[in-house]
Amino acid sequence: MPVQPRVDLDSLPSYVAGRTVPGAIKLSSNETPGGPLPSVKKAIAEAAENMNRYPDISVAKLAGRLAEKFGLPADQIAVGCGSVALCQQVVQAMCGVDDEVLFAWRSFESYPIVTQIAGAAPVRVPLDGTHAHDLDAMAASITPRTRLVFVCNPNNPTGTAVRRAELERFLDRVPEDVLVVLDEAYTEFATDPDVPDGLDYVRSRDNVAVLRTFSKAYGLAGLRVGYFAGPAAVAEAVRKVYIPFSVNSLAQIAAMASLDAEPELLARCEVIAAERDRVRGELIEAGYDVPETQANFVWLPLGDKALEFAEHTLANKVVVRAFAGDGVRVTISHHDENDLFLHAARSYRSNS
């Protein structure tokens, strides 16, 4: 008999990364368009001198810095190799075979993958008619086997955001032994003050955790670093299932340099958010249905036209992220790149 990997992995979908096409603008991975700040580049170059050494396995300096910034004890923080690694670690930390992990669908494509890797069962609750989380339906879908609920806020790929009052109503309905993980990868782009800061609930409740990343607003997608903040016991388990040394030394240094440069980086996010509102407005004017978005991307619920639309924009040298049969997600970039996308979107409508 040949060697046989786990049969249950056969049905596992692969993570589909946004495409990169030479000569085309990439609006497919929700990256920020500005390159690294000079101060961050300098810190990385200096850290490169010590690349023969292993990184700090406990990521202590960065974790301590985050704990101080958020007014949390350091034992409630876990740093990971991007928050996608932390999604997997938190499922491994919480779930065994046949435990249920609940999340909205469509949402971040990693959730079903990391759930199945752990041998747990994904439970998908459809988004509501406005492409937003249906928190009432999610609360009603919790069973005695549910161990963890992901709430992606703002939601990837639709951009919609859960507001404070509805989130609190939901949290009040979740049993105390179920962990709610607020995935806030895009929180820095949210401009509506009613979009909550998940860390408020980490401080006030014992079953809420937050995931954040340096990949999006902080512009470090290539370096791989994110963090978890949550109940101390869960943070400890998340650190246990960490692949040793996977947050590399350059990532640790660059994350701290980015915290030093935070005002500059958040100012960039404001520009992106303003562009987002402009792009959404112009798409609606062109006749598209575009849900409300608080992230650095817009969602076009084009259904079975999604792939055709993406092919059309690609022919116009703009790469977007299509989800077959569902919709297209378009990352907001600089003004000129956004205009090239808008031009392609308008010409699609006039051709079809």
Ligand X SMILES: *Cc1c(COP(=O)(O)O)cnc(C)c1O
Q: How many CA atoms lie within 13 A of 80 on its CB side?
A: 28
Nearer to ligand X, 222 or 287 (CB): 222
Give the Cα-Cα-Cα angle 292, 294, 295 (nearest 5 degrees): 120
Nearer to ligand X, 183 or 312 (CB): 183
Nearest distance, CB of residue 226 and ligand X, angstroms:
4
Q: Which single residue brings its beta carbon nearest to ligand X?
A: 82
Nearest distance, CB of residue 224 and ligand X, angstroms:
6
Nearer to ligand X, 212 or 312 (CB): 212
Nearer to ligand X, 156 or 258 (CB): 156
Tokens of 50: 């010590």
CB under 8 Å to 226, separation ≥6 — which residues? 79, 80, 81, 82, 83, 84, 85, 86, 185, 211, 212, 213, 214, 215
DSSP state of 15: P
Nearer to ligand X, 30 or 115 (CB): 30
Nearest distance, CB of residue 214 and ligand X, angstroms:
7
CA 177 to chain centre: 24
Tokens of 233: 């016991």
Nearest distance, CB of residue 152 and ligand X, angstroms:
5
Tokens of 195: 């979009």
Nearer to ligand X, 28 or 30 (CB): 30
Nearest distance, CB of residue 220 and ligand X, angstroms:
8
Nearest distance, CB of residue 323 and ligand X, angstroms:
13
Stated as kind and residue range, the H or E segment containing 316 is none
Positions in the binding site for ligand X (CB under 6 A): 30, 82-84, 108, 152, 156, 183, 185, 213, 215-216, 221, 226
Closest residue by Cα to residue 306 from 293, 289, 285? 289
**Strand pairing partners for 42?**
none
Tokens of 158: 């639709």
